[in-house]
Structures are given as C-alpha cells and as structure tokens.
C-alpha cells in the first residue's frame, strides 16, 4: 500500500520517540545528537535538552515531565545511503537508564539505572498506563561478537518501584498498550515477532507456558528479512509497527492478522505516533534519512494516557 508522506523536518540525527503535543509540535529524541528536540509546526527544530548517551524512547508522564529511555549510546555508520547503528559500545557508555526531564525547570534526573541486582543495558521504548506507571523495553547492547538478552520492565514514575515483567526476549524494541491497558505488546527487532503479555495487574503478566520462551503470547511474525522497531496502537486496538528494511508501517490486528503494510520513503523508519484534533495524523521518524514525516491515517490513533 503506497502512502504520501509529507516531510516536516530534515537534518535530524537519527530521530526516534516522537510525542505529539497539544500545540501541534512534535517532541522527539535525536539519538546520534544525544538530545531531546522539538519540531515546531512550521518545521523549525530546536533543542530542549542535551541528555548525553543515547536517548531512544520518550513519553509524557502524569507530572507533565518527559520520561526517557536512554540506551547509553549507539555507534553509527552509513549503509546504502542510510544512517544506521552498528555493533559496538559508545566510548562513554556506563549503563542504560530511565531519565526524567522537566521542561519547566530544565532539570534532568535519573529515575532508574537497574532493576534489583541487574543494571539496565539499553532501554529502548516506553509507554505509560493509566495507573501512573510505565512499561519499557531493554534492548540490551549489540557488541562486535555478542549481544545481551533483552527484557520488558515496569516502573513507577516516582522512582519507588521497578519490576521485571518478562525475560529473556530477543532485541525487544517497540512497546505499546491495548486500549483498556489489559495487554502490553512488544516488538522484537531481529525476529520480527510481535508478542502480547496479558496483564493481571499493573506490572504483572499472566505467563503462558512452553513453548513461549518468556511467558508472552505470540501475536504474529513476519516472513523474509524484515525487522520490527517501535510501535503505536490505534483506537481500534490494532498495532502499528515501524518495519525496517521493508520501509513501512505494518498494521497488525490483535488476532495476529496483518491488515496492511503502508510503505514510506525510508528503509529505516523507526517509530510512529498519532496526533491532531481527531488523532488521524501519523508522525513518522525516518531515521535513515534524518527526517520527520507525516501522513493522514485512516483510523484514529489511541490517545495516550498523559499526552
């Protein structure tokens, strides 16, 4: 399915984590620039905060602050004309972390850098529920000869609790919630598998038995060499997953049926969010070419808890 993407901003350094704001702007992260940035409705880009490391996922919390999945830093290279990450560890890497940025004061603080005895390796994507907590994925680190297991976690915004929801996953990336907060979805990059975790309570999933490797329920997997990145859920509960290599948004029903693939002009499309008065405008981070794009969407996006 072809799409007509309008480019809002160019010159971004591997944009990700878009958040649609009430004033029509988009706040996002630039992983390579190591910033939180704002794209105004006229396309003007300004830096809100220099956070260092690798700001990767972004969400508005119940207190009006931005919560950041900081992967600790990526390395980059150009492949086939597209900016891409490459294996290896950022020279200033210490750990992954969840950070809080207060736009009113400019204060940046670390909320979590570990879960129990285990340091966070590379937090990737984040979504808030309506109970004041958030789910986030930890992608791990991809080194030259090995990589970490990935995981799904839940934390309270005030820093009072963090728990492991599922482990181990393989390159856990996008995360999103069903409209009633009863299911958390996780997309794995290298397997192109979409998993569902059925929730008994905030931060606690009902585990499915073997052959599930971590207690999740397999929703679908894509054939061929396709790779999943981040995702958003629409108001009907469909999961819209940014799909690398193919360069599209794959729309998956909760039943697992692939409804359609919406092609976009970048094989490194990394994320999607919804905005506009009717929530029928999709915003896309086209990371390979450093652009933010937009297009009309046939279904309304799900309005997030605190956006």
Q: Which residue has the tokens 């996780």?
A: 186
Please answer whether residues 280 and 299 qualify as being in contact, where contact means their C-beta atoms are separated by less than 8 angstroms: yes
229 is catalytic: yes
Q: Which residue has the tokens 């150009």?
A: 78
Is 173 among the annotated ligand-binding positions?
yes
Please answer whether residues 97 and 113 qualify as being in contact, where contact means their C-beta atoms are separated by less than 8 angstroms: yes
pLDDT for 133-155, tens place per residue?
999 999 999 999 999 999 999 99
pLDDT band at 2; cut points 50, 70, 90 = low
The Cα 98–Cα 122 span in angstroms is 10
Spot the catalytic one: 125, 129, 229, 234: 229
Q: What is the pLDDT of residue 113?
A: 98
Is 42 among the annotated ligand-binding positions?
no
Average pLDDT of the chain, as a whole number:
97
Q: Is 3 a residue whose pLDDT tops 80? A: no
pLDDT for 21-46, tens place per residue?
999 999 999 999 999 999 999 999 99
pLDDT for 72-86, tens place per residue?
999 999 999 999 999
Q: pTM surpassing 0.95? A: yes
Neighbours of 63 (CB within 10 A): 13
Give, in order, the Cα–Cα distances in Å from 271 to each of 15, 207, 234, 254: 9, 28, 14, 19
pLDDT for 116-136, tens place per residue?
999 999 999 999 999 999 999
- List, in order of start, the domains of the chain with CATH numbers: 16-234 (2.120.10.30)
pLDDT for 176-234, tens place per residue?
999 999 999 999 999 999 999 999 999 999 999 999 999 999 999 999 999 999 999 99
pLDDT for 254-276, tens place per residue?
999 999 999 999 999 999 999 99
Please answer whether residues 292 and 28 qualify as being in contact, where contact means their C-beta atoms are separated by less than 8 angstroms: yes
Q: What is the pLDDT of residue 36?
A: 98
| Three-class DSSP category at 269 | strand
Is 229 among the annotated ligand-binding positions?
yes
The Cα 221–Cα 35 span in angstroms is 33
Q: What is the pLDDT of residue 307?
A: 87
Q: Is 1 a residue whose pLDDT tops 80? A: no
The Cα 242–Cα 84 span in angstroms is 15
């Amino acid at each position: 399915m072809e799409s007509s993407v309008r480019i809002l901003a160019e010159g971004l350094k591997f944009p990700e984590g878009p958040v649609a704001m009430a004033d029509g702007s988009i706040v996002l992260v630039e992983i390579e620039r190591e910033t939180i940035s704002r794209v105004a409705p006229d396309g003007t880009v300004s830096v809100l905060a220099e956070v260092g490391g690798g700001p990767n996922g972004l969400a508005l919390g119940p207190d009006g602050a931005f919560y950041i999945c900081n992967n600790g830093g990526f390395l980059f290279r150009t492949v086939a004309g597209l900016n891409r990450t490459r294996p290896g560890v950022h020279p200033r890497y210490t750990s992954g972390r969840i950070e809080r940025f207060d736009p009113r004061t400019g204060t940046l603080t670390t909320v979590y850098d570990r879960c129990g005895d285990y340091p966070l390796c590379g937090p990737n994507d984040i979504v808030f529920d309506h109970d004041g907590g958030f789910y986030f994925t930890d992608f791990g680190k991809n080194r030259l000869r090995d990589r970490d297991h990935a995981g799904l976690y839940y934390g309270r915004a005030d820093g009072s609790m963090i728990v492991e929801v599922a482990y181990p996953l393989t390159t856990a990336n996008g995360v999103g919630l069903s409209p009633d907060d009863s299911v958390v979805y996780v997309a794995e990059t290298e397997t192109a598998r979409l998993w569902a975790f059925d929730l008994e309570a905030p931060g606690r999933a009902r585990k499915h038995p073997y052959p599930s490797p971590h207690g999740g329920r397999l929703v679908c997997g894509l054939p061929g060499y396709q790779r999943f990145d981040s995702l958003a859920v629409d108001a009907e509960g469909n999961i819209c997953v940014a799909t690398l290599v193919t360069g599209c948004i794959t729309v998956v029903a909760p039943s697992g049926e692939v409804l359609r693939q919406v092609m976009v002009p970048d094989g490194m499309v990394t994320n999607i969010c919804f905005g506009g008065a009717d929530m029928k405008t999709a915003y896309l981070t086209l990371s390979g070419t450093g652009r933010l794009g937009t297009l009309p969407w046939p279904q309304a996006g799900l309005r997030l808890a605190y956006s």
